[in-house]
């Protein structure tokens, strides 16, 4: 029987070829592995196990397309996830304190908001005052988008942090300093003092409230009752801020202000008084705007200069209050 020339060669060649279905299988499998690798959050993963099928199959594409590891996966960017107890504690404390203010201080916030509205109706000026870090809340009220136009803080560089914390801390205890500072401002009986002090014990904030009351001004205090009631006064009168102001709003913060404590530091972290102070002030402003609007009075509110119509809106406020407010 004669064999066809070249037949053996064709058989050998056919055996060397990979079946098309097998080639397609490996192609699909390789793509699947790459997709799993793409969606598997193993980059920067160090601490948190990720549930799901990734425990069974974890491609390490940097070594080889088909190199796998059964090492437990960690969530990306969560290096200290399992040790975040203190962070959760801080978040919870912020929410808890704001809720405390809402549920226990509403009456005082309503009273303070009414005083703000009355001041604006009478063409008075709201005069915030705070020393140290409390001055941050005073400036929060001043020329801010969403804030009122007739606001002029009683600012003094020596009592602010940019002049040095030690200097501010020493001068806020100095009797008589507040009276001198107030004398430099055109404070009138139709104006409103909003004084902010965490401890409420030092001379400057307490005497500022006393001096303003002598001028016939109403006074609102934002302070920590827990802190203030646990310490003695540093004023000649022996009074603390909550014993002087017409309306007192408790900021709900603990003695010392901080919320998170580590044995290694010996001191607390994450103070609350700036957060709660700003929260209280804006609540007062919202209430004041609500009362003004109900009376048909347009609340004199700044807009962002970077928003459409902001510059035009703000120029009107500048012109109206330029004689008593520094713009």
Share of the chain above pLDDT 70, in %: 77
63: left (phi over 0), alpha (psi -120 to 50) or beta: alpha
| Residues 244 and 98 occupy one common structural domain | yes
Mean pLDDT of 206-224: 98
Mean pLDDT of 183-188: 96
Of 46, 66, 83, which marks where a domain is finished? Answer: 83
Structure tokens at 302: 């700044």
| Residue 98 within a domain | yes
| Residues 299 and 155 occupy one common structural domain | yes
| Residues 194 and 285 occupy one common structural domain | yes
| Residues 232 and 273 occupy one common structural domain | yes
Of 37, 63, 83, which marks where a domain is finished? Answer: 83
| Residues 246 and 172 occupy one common structural domain | yes
| Residues 127 and 261 occupy one common structural domain | yes
User: What's the alpha-carbon Rg for the chain, to the nearest Å?
Assistant: 33
Mean pLDDT of 5-25: 57
| Residues 199 and 213 occupy one common structural domain | yes
Q: Which residues constitute the domain of residue 103?
A: 85-321
| Residues 118 and 63 occupy one common structural domain | no
| Residue 235 within a domain | yes
Straight-line distance from the first to the last Cα atom of the chain, in angstroms, rounded to the nearest whole number: 112
Label residue 270 by pLDDT band (50, 70, 90). very high
| Residues 273 and 289 occupy one common structural domain | yes
- pLDDT above 70 for 44: no
The total domain count for the chain is: 2
Q: What is the pLDDT at residue 19? A: 61
Question: How would you label 269-297 residue by residue, b for 16+ Cβ within 10 Å and e otherwise?
Answer: ebbbbbbbbbbbbebbbebbbebbeeeee
Question: Does pTM top 0.85 for this prediction?
Answer: no
| Residues 176 and 206 occupy one common structural domain | yes
């Amino acid at each position: 029987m004669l064999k066809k020339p070249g037949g053996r060669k064709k058989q050998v060649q056919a055996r060397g070829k990979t079946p098309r279905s097998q080639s397609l299988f490996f192609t699909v499998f390789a793509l699947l592995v790459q997709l799993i690798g793409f969606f598997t959050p193993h980059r920067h993963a160090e601490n948190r196990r990720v549930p799901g099928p990734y425990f069974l199959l974890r491609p390490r594409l940097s070594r080889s397309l088909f190199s796998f590891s059964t090492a437990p996966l960690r969530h990306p960017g969560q290096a200290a996830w399992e040790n975040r107890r203190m962070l959760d504690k801080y978040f919870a404390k912020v929410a808890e304190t704001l809720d405390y203010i809402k549920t226990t201080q509403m009456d005082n916030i309503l009273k303070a908001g009414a005083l703000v509205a009355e001041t604006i109706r009478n063409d008075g000026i709201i005069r915030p005052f705070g020393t140290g870090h409390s001055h941050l809340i005073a400036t929060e009220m001043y020329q801010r988008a969403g804030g009122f136009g007739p606001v002029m803080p009683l600012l003094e560089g020596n009592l602010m942090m940019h002049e040095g914390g030690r200097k501010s801390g020493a001068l806020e205890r100095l009797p008589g300093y507040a009276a001198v500072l107030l004398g430099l401002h055109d404070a009138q009986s139709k104006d409103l003092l909003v004084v902010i002090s965490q401890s409420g014990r030092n001379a400057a904030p307490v005497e500022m409230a006393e001096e303003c009351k002598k001028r016939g001004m109403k006074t609102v205090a934002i302070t920590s009752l827990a802190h203030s009631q646990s310490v003695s006064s540093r004023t000649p009168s022996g009074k603390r801020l909550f014993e002087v102001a017409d309306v007192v709003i408790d900021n709900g913060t603990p003695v010392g202000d901080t919320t998170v404590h580590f044995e290694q530091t010996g001191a607390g972290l994450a103070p609350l008084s700036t957060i709660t102070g700003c929260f209280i002030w804006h609540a007062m402003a919202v209430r004041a705007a609500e009362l003004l609007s109900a009376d048909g009075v347009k609340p004199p509110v700044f807009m962002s200069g970077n928003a459409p119509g902001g510059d035009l809106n703000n120029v009107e406020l500048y012109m109206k209050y330029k004689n008593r407010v520094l713009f």
